[in-house]
Chain A
Amino acid sequence: MTKSPEEKEAAKAAKLVEKEAAKAALADVVDSKEDKPEVVVPKVKSDLEVRFKAFLEKYKEQNPEKFAIKEAKGEFNKIPDSFV
């Protein structure tokens, strides 16, 4: 059944109202996110990483020159298999 021009106008207006309402709702969500920033949970280091870090601190104290050379080469970026 075809709609009358008035009915078409009314449907158009209703759709527009719906769009505006959705926009407003989204704005609310965005605003609320800005008010409450996302909580960042710090990455938990494994026991091995913690021990390796302490080990490197000790090595830095024992041999600072070689520590600097090896750190610059990126040797400490990965925990070697021999470290337990």
Chain B
Amino acid sequence: MANTLSTYSLRHKYFKANLEVALRNALIAEKICNVDRSDLKTIENPYITNQAATIQAVAGTYTPAAMTVTDDALSVNDEVVVATHVYDFEMRTGNFDFMANFLEDLIYSVDFKIDQFALNKILDSATGTYTTPAGGFTTAANVPVICANLLSKIGGYQSGIAKAPFLVIENTDLVGFAQAQVASGFTYADAALNNGFMTNYMGIDIYVIRTGTFVTSTLGTLTATNSGHRLFGISGLASYASPRGVAYEEKGITSKTGKEVVAYGYIGVKVWTPHAGLFVDITLA
């Protein structure tokens, strides 16, 4: 004989005091960019066009050349915004602090969209190009070949491979990358085997993002055609401006109880014209 017990006559326990959140993507734009959060609309960065010096047999004569300075600017032209409303009856009778939990999730949404915009903007601005061998990063044998080719594209410049090159790959690329790491030599392979995916390979900082971060779509003022592409470049050369970072407001709304909560941020991203060649738009074959 089985008893009939109601749902709420049995003990419930909550795993934690806050609402669980959906899986969150890695945010990497700030790690590869020069970040500015000051109150600004534009950052001006005019550049000189390099003049080649003349080498000649000793003569003592020369012709002065006119120098050219060209304007280059980063402009904060995009805003990211997301909002929701939490009613008073929800706040009063909820088992969780809905306002705080929802706000935290909204702020992450804005952070992610800003990050996605920055990565796509940098990739779109990259003037270096490279097409991988067939199989791309998913074929382990290709990984050192690809990395060597990418390094050769930035080598020889003062701001080249002596600084910190980075490579942004998608999670699906780990199939080949991880295998390439454990098949490499000695202590590196041992470290990869013991500790898992290594975030530096051949001196390149490897960042992994989720598939679907690089998109062919309209992102604010950016028309991006980056689906299936990857990004290589030098850390700290691209600039990312987000005046005052991500902000939020809680406000009362006419004819509604509770509060509307909105999270928002502003973003401008620039690959300075003289450095555009140090960023490589990688196409998968």
Seen from chain A, the residues whose Cβ lies within 8 Å of a Cβ on chain B are 55-56, 58-59, 62-63, 65-67, 69-70, 73, 75-76, 80-84
Q: Select one of B129, B131, B227 contacting A82, CB under 8 A.
A: B227
B283 lies within 8 A of A66 (CB): no
A83 lies within 8 A of B124 (CB): no
Q: Is B80 an interface residue (CB 8 A)?
A: no
B225 lies within 8 A of A59 (CB): yes
A67 to B226, CA, bound (A): 11
Seen from chain B, the residues whose Cβ lies within 8 Å of a Cβ on chain A are 124, 127, 129, 131, 212, 215-218, 223, 225, 227-228, 281, 283
B216 lies within 8 A of A80 (CB): yes
A80 lies within 8 A of B223 (CB): no
Q: If the complex has contacts A63-B124, A82-B212, are A70 and B225 also in contact, measured as CB distance less than 8 A?
A: yes
Which residues does chain B contribute within 8 Å of A65, judged by CB atoms? Answer: 127
B281 lies within 8 A of A82 (CB): no
Q: How far is the CB of B168 from chain A (nearest CB, A)?
A: 16
Which residues does chain A contribute within 8 Å of B218, judged by CB atoms? Answer: 55, 58
A84 lies within 8 A of B223 (CB): no
A76 to B281, CA, bound (A): 16
A83 lies within 8 A of B281 (CB): no
Which residues does chain B contribute within 8 Å of A67, judged by CB atoms? Answer: 225
A84 to B124, CA, bound (A): 19
B217 lies within 8 A of A82 (CB): yes
A82 lies within 8 A of B215 (CB): yes
Q: If the complex has contacts A69-B129, A82-B217, A83-B216, are A58 and B228 also in contact, measured as CB distance less than 8 A?
A: no
Q: How far is the CB of B127 from chain A (nearest CB, A)?
A: 8
Nearest neighbor of A60 in chain B, beta-carbon distance: B223
Nearest neighbor of A70 in chain B, beta-carbon distance: B225
Q: If the complex has contacts A55-B218, A82-B217, are A66 and B223 also in contact, measured as CB distance less than 8 A?
A: no
Which residues does chain A contribute within 8 Å of B217, judged by CB atoms? Answer: 82-84
Which residues does chain A contribute within 8 Å of B223, judged by CB atoms? Answer: 55, 58-59, 62-63
Which residues does chain B contribute within 8 Å of A84, judged by CB atoms? Answer: 217
A75 lies within 8 A of B281 (CB): no
List 10 additional A-B contacts (Cβ < 8 Å) besides A82-B217, A84-B217. A55-B218, A55-B223, A59-B223, A65-B127, A66-B124, A66-B225, A75-B283, A76-B225, A81-B227, A83-B217
Which residues does chain B contribute within 8 Å of A69, judged by CB atoms? Answer: 129
